Homo-oligomer: A and B are copies of this chain.
C-alpha cells in the first residue's frame, strides 16, 4: 500500500496507514496451526492534563495527541468556547499532553464535581452532557442522498489503518459530498474527539458539516455531535432508541445502517432529499466491506 496523498481524495487530513508508529506485524498462528503474521494496530496510553489537573488517561493510536486533548476537553465541556487556550504541550516520552488556558482557577470546582460522577461504563460525564443538550437546537440542514452515497464510496476506498490492520474506528468530517478530515482511533470516542479538536483549533464552521462514523448511534455519540454543532450524523452501524430520541429532540438528521445502497433515516426525514436512485448504487462489494470494527 503506497502512502496516500490526502489531496488525491480531497481530504485535508486522511489516515496514514504507512506510518510505522501506528501498526506493527505480530507473529502468531492461524487456524491450521501454521505460522502467520498479522498487522495489528498500536494502542498507547495518553494522559490528558488541563493546566495542572490530570483529567484522564486515554488509549489511543496517538497520531494527533494535541487534537485529541483539545477535542476531548471541549466535548466534555471542561473547556468552554470562551476559554482561551494558550498552549498545548505534548511529550511523547512521558505520554502526557497538557492543555493550558489563560484563566485556570474557576475550573477546579467544576472539574472536581465532574470527575466525581464521571466513570467508566459509558465513557461520558453523563449528567453534564445531558444538561448541556437541554434546549439545544441544530440548524435545519438539508441532506441529499447523493451525498451519502458519494461519501460512502470515497471513504470506503480511502487507504486506512482499518483496511490494513482492522480493529479500529473511523470518523470523518464531511461537507456535502466531500470528506474533509478522516480520523481513526482504537479508543471509542477518540476519533470524533480528534475531529472536535481540529475544528476548535481552526475555528471551523459546524452548521454545514456532516459526521460519518463507523460506530453505533448511541446517546453519547448523538450528544457529542450535537454539542459540536453538527446537524447530520451518518453511520454504517445501527441505532439505540435513546440515540434516536435525542436526535429528534435536537433536530439532528440521523442515518444508520448505511451499507451499499441501503440505509435507514430515523430522525430528520423531512430534511432528507432523495436525489439519487438507489438502484444505480452498487451494493457494498466485499473488498471494501468494513468487517465491523467491533468494540
Seen from chain A, the residues whose Cβ lies within 8 Å of a Cβ on chain B are 23-24, 26-33, 36, 38, 40-45, 48, 54-60, 68, 72, 76, 115-127, 145, 165-167, 169, 186-190, 193, 214-220, 235-244, 256-257, 259, 261-267, 269, 272, 274, 278, 290-295
Are the C-beta atoms of A239 and B167 separated by less than 8 Å? yes
* A45 to B256 CA separation, bound complex (whole angstroms): 22
Are the C-beta atoms of A188 and B219 separated by less than 8 Å? no
Question: Closest B-chain residue to A273, C-beta based?
Answer: B33
* A243 to B241 CA separation, bound complex (whole angstroms): 32
Q: Which of B55, B237, B293 contacts A119 (CB 8 A)?
A: B55
* A281 to B136 CA separation, bound complex (whole angstroms): 53
Name the 7 nearest CB pairs between A and B, nearest first.
A292-B292, A295-B295, A56-B119, A237-B294, A167-B238, A58-B121, A166-B238
* A216 to B295 CA separation, bound complex (whole angstroms): 5
* A128 to B88 CA separation, bound complex (whole angstroms): 27
Q: A235 — which chain B residues lie within 8 A by C-beta?
A: 294
A interface SS class: mixed
Are the C-beta atoms of A241 and B56 separated by less than 8 Å? no
State how many angstroms separate the Cβ of A114 from the closest Cβ of chain B. 10
Are the C-beta atoms of B123 and A294 separated by less than 8 Å? no
Question: Closest B-chain residue to A117, C-beta based?
Answer: B54
Check A56/B122 contact, CB under 8 A, given A31-B261, A264-B36.
Answer: yes
Q: A214 — which chain B residues lie within 8 A by C-beta?
A: 294
Are the C-beta atoms of A274 and B33 separated by less than 8 Å? yes
State how many angstroms separate the Cβ of A276 from the closest Cβ of chain B. 8
Q: A294 — which chain B residues lie within 8 A by C-beta?
A: 169, 214-216, 235-238, 292-295
Are the C-beta atoms of B241 and A272 separated by less than 8 Å? no
Are the C-beta atoms of A120 and B121 separated by less than 8 Å? no
Q: A241 — which chain B residues lie within 8 A by C-beta?
A: 23-24, 26, 40-43
State how many angstroms separate the Cβ of A164 from the closest Cβ of chain B. 11
* A120 to B32 CA separation, bound complex (whole angstroms): 40
